[in-house]
Structure 1
Amino acid sequence: MSSAPRTSRGTRTRAKILAAAEQVFATLGFHDASIVKITEEAGVGLGTFYLYFPGKTEIFEEVVRDLNHRVRQAMSVASSEASTRIEAERAGFRAYFRFTAEHPALYRIIRQAEFVAPSAMRAHYASIVEGYIAGLRTAQARGEVRELDPTVAAWALMGAGELIGMRWVLWEQENSDQPAGVPEPVFESLMDLIEVALSAPDTAHDTDKESP
């Protein structure tokens, strides 16, 4: 386990090391990364690193937890003012895509976690899905979401968001020097799919119209 700082200066130092680790792991990968490279990136000594983290695996797991906390917070804050579930979906997905455009390390590090720290990877997804399920159940109780299994829906929606983001955020950013983002037509197409999938029958789009 990592050690909690006891002073505000320690908090800043620990955060600086964590940010450096995020950059190093995302750029070099876990196996090519080293504590020395992390401390060089952070501008601190080895002794300072060991004040807060026991080793490379532990700081990697902490990076996963930190990214998870920040992306969930961004989505939660963005969707908190929404008055309907569909509005919450739109706000939450926009926040997610904005976060991943600013922190593409999220994709790279979570993919590494499957092999380096599988329990941290599972916790990452499970914590996102847990909140998602609760939100869908609340919307179902209000009659905004059709009768479906909220657990299956939560995993499916999370998977859709991750793959859309990987395609239009991560891959595009890897081929350009400019920050990438999900194009508006792509975003709207995704929202159309989500609205049709979630909306209660009396509010869903009419998809059964006969062709002329």
Structure 2
Amino acid sequence: MPENEFVTLPKTKRGERTFSRLIESAEQVFYEKGYHGSGIKDITDQAGVGLGTFYLYFKDKKGIYTYLLSQYSHIIRMAIARRIQAAGEIDRKEEERLGLLAFLELVQKKPHFYHIIWESLYIDRSLFIQYYATFGKLYSRQIRKAQKDGHMSDGDADVMAFMLMGIANFVGLRYAMFDQLADLEHVATEAIRILDEGMFNKKEESDS
């Protein structure tokens, strides 16, 4: 995330370590106490630094929270990109399957992502909208390219992007957050199979 009015990025290795401790502490504190139940002192105490150190990097509590949101978006997109790139030459359907699998595996390990991201709706609605709008914009751009290249069917790319994002989010809730022992490979494969074959395209039984 680039430096902005809320965040001043560290310029030294020591500063980077302190910055990382603050981020990790904020993540834990927000997850355990919620944004409104947390204070800056909770974060600095958890990080083992003074209050003044916090203000070297962040304007206020909302600044560090906003930074966390931007990092989650980046982490999710990078996890998906790495999984797809590692697979080599694959078609778009397999890219979607691997992308979904990567997301499920990530949120299974980091269920606090859901808590912190969705709490933004009650902290600042514009943050919640911006988080998903940005994600959707990047996703729909990829879909339009796949459509142009003949790898996906025609349709409203924005609707398709948010539909796929919705599937990932709620399938993730059920099989990565509620059920820590779910077979995520099966879940991802089944979700893409249903999308590929269609939910309302029931095959007629052949006469015997």
Overall identity of the aligned pairs, in %: 32
> In the TM superposition, what is the alpha-carbon distance from 1:127 to its structure 2 partner?
2.0
Please tell me whether the aligned partners of residues 105 and 176 of structure 2 are also in contact (alpha carbons under 8 angstroms).
no
Alignment pair present for 1:135 and 2:151 = no
**19 and 82 in structure 1: CA distance in 2 versus 1, 3 angstrom threshold:** farther
Pick the aligned partner of 2:205 from 203, 207, 211.
211
State the alpha-carbon separation in 2 of the partners of residues 191 and 209 from structure 1.
17
Which letter does structure 2 place at the counterpart of 1:83?
A: I
Shift, 1:194, TM fit: 2.7
Aligned-partner residue type, residue 49 of structure 1? F
Give the deviation of 1:181 after TM superposition. 5.1
TM-score, scaled to structure 1: 0.85
Aligned residues: 199
Q: How far apart are 1:182 and its partner, in Å?
A: 5.2
Partner of 2:97: 90
Q: Between 79-88 and 114-123, report the one with greater CA deviation.
A: 79-88
The one-letter code sitting in structure 2 at the alignment partner of 1:36 is K
Q: How far has the Cα of 1:154 moved from its partner?
A: 0.4
TM-score by length of 2: 0.87
- Report deviation, 1:73: 1.3
Q: CA RMSD in A?
A: 2.1
Give unpaired runs (5+ residues) of structure 2: 1-5
Runs of 5+ unmatched residues, structure 1: 174-179, 198-204
**2:132 aligns with one of 125, 128, 146:** 125
* AA partner of residue 178 (structure 2): W
Structure 1's consecutive aligned runs of 4 or more residues displaced over 6 angstroms after TM superposition are none
- Matched ranges for 1:5-44 at <5 A: 5-44=10-49
- Structure 2 residue identity aligned to 1:194: L
Query: Conserved in 1, the CA contact under 8 Å of 2:29 and 2:43?
Result: yes
Q: Which amino acid aligns with 1:121?
A: F
Distance 2:186 2:193 in 1: 10
Q: How far 1:185 moved relative to its partner?
A: 3.2
Output one character per residue of 1:14-35: Cα deviation in whole Å (capped at 9) or x when no partner: 1211111111111111111111
